[in-house]
A = this chain, B = another copy of it.
Amino acid sequence: MGKQGNKSDFVFQSITLIGIGLIGSSIARAVKKRNDLVETVILTDVNAEVRQKAKEIGLGDHVLDDVTVAVKDADCVILCTPIGNYAEIMQNISNHLKPGCIVSDVGSVKRAPIADMSPHIPQGVHLVPGHPIAGTEQSGPESGFAELFEGRYWLLTPTHETARNATQRMRNLFEGIGAMVEEMDPDYHDKVLAITSHLPHLIAYTIVGTADDLEDQTQADVIRFSASGFRDFTRIAGSNPVMWRDIFLNNREAVLEMLQRFSEDLTALQRAIRWGEAQTLEDLFTRTREIRRGVIDAKQEIPPSPDKAR
């Protein structure tokens, strides 16, 4: 395949990204950085200011106001909005999708959003849900960058109805922008992400909220001396509020189950501190080091770095 793609080389002639935030704008940048993946990239967003910003930055080929117009010629539509909006969006665009079109998404939860989208997928249109394990705590079209997905996992959770070649085309697209694509069951996805992502965010939001309730002087010093550990939590807790609200509401069961396990473990540790059980503490703190080594060995230690990547 040559550097300058011709019509038949493209994975898709036209893709439409609904929602121009960190992820949507990064997909647009990544796809346009290569000229052999997609011929035309169309973006749309419910927010006029966001659309204006996307035009100013020059994201994609066209930024359109009307979502039904934006999707009508698309071979592929990717929902890049908070997952709470999926049902409404699908209702609006369902009758405007081209036969053979593939619908995908980038939501951090899979089962409930699939249930929201599925009823609105017309005959002849394919659903290939997805979730890139990539991001920063930044939001908005200006925060995206083309290299965001390089070397990161992109999980696809096709359903029983999904045609194999539809999944394969999405794989080609995402591998084309540097991601490592894996397929998995939606329920298993939601369980793994509940512990790797949703619970950590929930805890980070909680502790930063706890700090916010301290009296003013203490709070000021908490910020000044945040380098001692708290800072990492504030970064996580700086993420998009609406997106995260929707994640917790849509992965309720798995999050509550992991939260229950976590609370039990925390209570046990609290008891160990209260009663001065030195060995219990040391044993746990030694055990967790192994997991850290696993993360380093799995090369998951390279954080997404917009500064270096740009």
Contact = CB atoms under 8 A, between A and B. Distances in A.
Contact of A225 (B192, B214, B234, B258): B192
A168 interface: no
Interface stretch (A14-22, A60-68, A97-105, A277-285): A277-285
Copies of this protein chain in the complex: 2
Interface string A94-138: 000000000000001000000000000000000000000111010
Taking chain A's interface residues, is the majority helix, strand, or loop, or is none over half, making it mixed? Answer: helix
B238 A222 contact: no
Given A200-B233, A231-B295, A226 B300 contact: yes
Given A196-B230, A227-B153, A210 B258 contact: yes
B210 A291 contact: no
B209 A300 contact: no
Interface stretch (A4-12, A38-46, A169-177, A243-251): A243-251
B200 A232 contact: yes
Contacts of A88: none
Given A207-B262, A227-B300, A281-B248, A235 B192 contact: no
Contact of A288 (B108, B198, B225, B234): B234
A232 B231 contact: no
Given A152-B227, A203-B207, A234-B291, A282 B196 contact: no
Nearest 7 pairs between A and B by C-beta? A238-B292, A241-B285, A197-B228, A200-B229, A237-B288, A196-B230, A208-B288
Contacts of A269: 202, 205-206
A226 to B, nearest CB: 5
Interface residues of A, number: 92
A120 B143 CA distance: 56
A16 B290 CA distance: 33
A121 B300 CA distance: 48
A280 to B, nearest CB: 9
Contacts of A226: 196, 295, 298, 300
A212 interface: yes
Nearest to A232: B232
A83 interface: no
Given A233-B200, A269-B205, A300 B223 contact: yes
B133 A210 contact: no
Given A238-B289, A265-B210, A227 B134 contact: yes
Contact of A193 (B193, B225, B233, B256): B225
Contacts of A285: 205, 237, 239, 241, 244-245
Contacts of A245: 278, 281-282, 285
Given A202-B269, A244-B281, A256-B274, 17 more contacts: A108-B228, A133-B228, A192-B218, A193-B225, A195-B211, A198-B229, A199-B207, A208-B288, A209-B265, A209-B284, A223-B291, A226-B295, A231-B303, A234-B295, A238-B293, A241-B282, A263-B270
